Chain A
Amino acid sequence: MKRPPSPAARLFRAFTLKEFRHIFRDKRTLLVLLGMPVVQIVLFGFAITTEAREARVVLLSPSPGAAERRVTDRLLSSDYFELSAVASSPSAVERALRRGEADVALVFEPAFDERLARDGKARVQLVVDATNPGLAAQFSGHASAIIAAAAVELAGGAPPPLAAETRLLHNPGMKAAYNFVPGVAGFILMLVCAMMTSVSIVREKENGTMDMLLVSPARPWMIIAAKLVPYFTLSCVNLATILLLSVGVLGVPVAGSPGGVVAVSLLFILVSLSIGIFVSTVARDQVVAMLVSGMVLMMPVVLLSGLIFPVENMPPLLEWLSRLIPARWYIAAMKKIMIEGAPLHLVTGEILALAATGAALLLLGLKKFNDRVT
């Protein structure tokens, strides 16, 4: 015999069902919530990229020769450089750089081959447009390495006595996706959980439906818990979307345990939901809830969590401030597990920070919510 559900269970079911209806009936918002992770991943993955694209090279070669061609060919045959123009004079090179038609100029001194043959050395100049310092550093780095290799070849193949061999760990392709996937996950989960939860609770206060609920036998914690179920579900869908797109489309591998990634993410979802509850007890109306979660929560998440600017490079004061942002701990833990393949016990610190913030906010939020009945 199946036991009939208790009144409390019926209450909870009725309430959860209603929350799902709210979300599914508002098609536009639902579309935004479900589509956002896709758009963000695609944007960050393909459009907004911090990776060096191919640098356009303008070449100045006053007296072409065989040795010179070997250097040029080597540079242009790499993935990083493509020839955009051959300049006839130094002023033409300058013009090409100023107009933005080229990023890098490769300038050989006159009679390059001749000098190389006679003196055993010749000079080549690399001019890089440093408007974007990050790109310039990458261009000059790649070009210098290629020219150095060409020099060894021209010298007859004798390797230099000292050469550093660089190995890029965790992200050998230096793909930006490795860095931003955890950030995007943090941002979206925060948005869905904190913002949507707080707005939906505050809306009930504004509409007067909250009074109706508080007069009923429903306990305050039940009202809140029923609100969290749909947003928790939605967040899980978003998380799955982000992870599948990252692995499937962007080719970001999950180096550590997938279980760990999911566990830490679920913890972060719970923390974000607690933030949403807390905000709802502070905010008087939906606009305030939106502003608080938008400006007070989102901005620091974007700026201080390491999504855009690495936390390690921050001045001490900002770095210290960033410790208060739960997303920072989540993103750090995700990077460690997902990209570096760290086992769970190496992210204990991050997990504790998240759990502590979540528990504190949840208790505070529930207490404030109960105090509404005064």
Chain B
Amino acid sequence: MDNAITTESLTKRFGTFTAVDRLTIEVKRGEIFGFLGANGAGKTTAMRVLCGLSKPTSGRAIVAGHDVAARPDSVKRRIGYMSQRFSLYGELKVWENIRLYAGIYGTPSARIKERSDALLRELDFEEGRDKLVRDLPPGWKQKLAFSVAIFHEPEIVFLDEPTGGVDPVTRRQFWELIYRTAGRGITVFVTTHYMDEAEYCDRVSIMVDGRIAALDSPRALKERLRVATVDDAFKMLARGDASPLYTNN
């Protein structure tokens, strides 16, 4: 039982459209798992199901040791989530946002104070404490949103296209944060459409039309398809130039 996430034939249908088709994957504890796919391939839907924001039509998902459909509350306490839309309150100050999310997860006040000081120090952002979040540059907002999502020390953090619309330097810094987080034993489940970022992941899965077409480490994936980058591998699979390397059962 060393998996952070285990899914068995997880399926989500909207009417006749199957967004996620019999998804069967295992994500190991402490790894950085890249969840790749074109827009509309079903990755956001799959992630929403894993977070308990959306109920699966059929199949099973065990997240942080609990069945998402049966015990969503146990799952929710053990995960963090950062949506692709920026998800802090712009009209609240930096420390007020931290306080709010910490309070939502039931952190005692004294501990919030001590931990939020540590957090701002770690980000080297102590002078930003009293600034309104809406006045921060986009890069800071993103880093802050991520720090808030892992403030309650979840077992898994789900990042839905966390680096959308950020400059390359900030993206680098953001990935350093992700590495540091994984180093602390938190599993990182991240969707992205920047293929260069996929190279930073321990393992990646590539989703095409609701199904997983490949699941492997970036290096193994490139070797099997004889390509130079994950981006090339992704294009081959998405266009159907290569047959899927991964099948359920």
Contact = CB atoms under 8 A, between A and B. Distances in A.
A156 interface: no
A22 interface: yes
Nearest to A218: B104
Contact of B85 (A13, A17, A207, A214): A207
Q: Looking at chain B's contact residues, is the secondary structure mostly helix, strand, loop, or mixed?
A: loop
A211 B91 contact: no
Contacts of A13: 103
A367 to B, nearest CB: 15
Interface stretch (B49-57, B183-191, B216-224): B49-57
Interface residues of B, number: 35
Contacts of B102: 14
B19 interface: no
A18 interface: yes
Given A26-B91, A207-B87, A208-B83, A10 B108 contact: yes
A215 interface: yes
Report the interface size class on chain A.
Answer: 20 to 34
A133 interface: no
Contact of B88 (A15, A17, A209, A214): A209
B108 A217 contact: no
A214 B77 CA distance: 11
Contacts of B55: 373-374
Given A18-B92, A373-B54, A216 B105 contact: yes
Interface in A184-243: 207-209, 211-218
A6 B52 CA distance: 24
Contact of B100 (A7, A15, A25): A15
B128 to A, nearest CB: 17
Contacts of B105: 7, 11, 216-217
A281 B20 CA distance: 26
Contacts of B79: 215
Nearest to B89: A209
A4 interface: yes
A211 B87 CA distance: 8
A4 B106 CA distance: 11
A6 B107 CA distance: 10
Interface in B42-85: 51-55, 73, 76-77, 79-85
B89 A211 contact: no
B54 A215 contact: no
B153 interface: no
A215 B92 contact: no
A327 B103 CA distance: 37
Interface string B104-127: 111111000000000000000000
22 contacts: A10-B106, A10-B109, A11-B106, A15-B103, A18-B92, A18-B100, A21-B96, A22-B89, A22-B92, A25-B92, A207-B87, A209-B87, A209-B88, A209-B89, A211-B53, A211-B85, A212-B87, A213-B104, A215-B52, A215-B79, A216-B76, A216-B101
